[in-house]
Amino acid sequence: MDDETFWDVIEDCRRVTPDPDERSEWLCERLKDRSENELLRFQETLDRVLAPTLTWDLWGAADRIMGWCSDDSFFYFRLWLVGLGRDVFDRAVRDPDSLADVPAVRGLVGRPPQVWEEEEVLEWEELDYVAVRAWEHVTGRTEEAFYDALESLVGDDAEPMDPAGERWDARDDEESHRRLPRLSALFPLSPAS
């Protein structure tokens, strides 16, 4: 699966429903029509597309918006970015502060994460599992077999070991305002931060 096909599938999915669970189900059903190789290539493309999102600046943006962002929640946030479609995704990779223009982000302004509805949380963990779920359905083989086949096909994981760029703390208000001025204005630190 090439990048254009991958992004076309993501765009189609995005148009179907905003609900992440429904999107995962829709996507899994569409992938069940693909060959084993295409399912592996979908995962390989997803992994490769995610690689440039592993940056300290993007992590800082996620941390600023969500109030705190662990390594797992940052991974799920990066998957959520894919779900926004190629244009928004590419813009966020180039300029994490551009997330201030995303309606889903703007809808969270002034509301602590504790009151967000489940579908408002900026994560799409299930995207990382749709290819393997489709694979299990199509082949009758296990998740372990999927990852073994993926490793045989593409070799090592495309994910860098550490985030790119200079590490900084989104809780440092001055630094955050310098690096992410619009997001910092939208999501001021709470007094407890």
pLDDT tens for 34-45 read 999 999 999 999
pLDDT at 159 over 80: no
The letter for the amino acid at 119 is E
> What's the rounded Cα separation, in Å, for the pair 100 and 55?
17
Q: Answer yes or no: are the C-beta atoms of 122 and 66 closer than 8 Å.
A: yes
- The whole-number average pLDDT for the span 131-144 is 95
Which range, of 75-84, 126-135, 150-159, 180-189, averages the lowest pLDDT? Answer: 150-159
Distance from CA of residue 13 to its chain's centroid?
14
> What's the rounded Cα separation, in Å, for the pair 133 and 126?
10
Q: Both tokens of residue 192?
A: 């407890």
Q: Both tokens of residue 2?
A: 């090439």
- The whole-number average pLDDT for the span 133-142 is 95
Q: Answer yes or no: are the C-beta atoms of 78 and 53 closer than 8 Å.
A: yes
> What's the rounded Cα separation, in Å, for the pair 166 and 161?
14
Q: What is the pTM of this model?
A: 0.93
- The whole-number average pLDDT for the span 96-116 is 96
pLDDT at 193 over 60: no
Residue 170, phi then psi, degrees to nearest 5: -65, -15
pLDDT at 192 over 60: no
User: Does an H or E element contain 81, and which?
Assistant: helix 71-83
Q: What pLDDT is attached to residue 161?
A: 78
- The whole-number average pLDDT for the span 98-126 is 95
Q: Answer yes or no: are the C-beta atoms of 50 and 10 closer than 8 Å.
A: no
Other Cβ atoms within 10 Å of 164 Cβ, number: 13
Q: What pLDDT is attached to residue 160?
A: 67
- The whole-number average pLDDT for the span 5-22 is 91
For the chain, the average pLDDT equals 93
> What's the rounded Cα separation, in Å, for the pair 16 and 19?
9
As beta bridge partners, residue 164 has 55
As beta bridge partners, residue 55 has 164
Render pLDDT for 60-85 as a digit per residue (tens, 0 to 9): 999 999 999 999 999 999 999 999 99
Q: What pLDDT is attached to residue 125?
A: 96
Q: Both tokens of residue 137?
A: 């359905």
Distances (CA, A) of 82 to 6, 22, 27, 143, 147: 10, 16, 13, 23, 21
> What's the rounded Cα separation, in Å, for the pair 158 and 185?
34
Dihedral sign computed on CA atoms, order 24, 25, 30, 32: positive
Q: What pLDDT is attached to residue 56?
A: 97
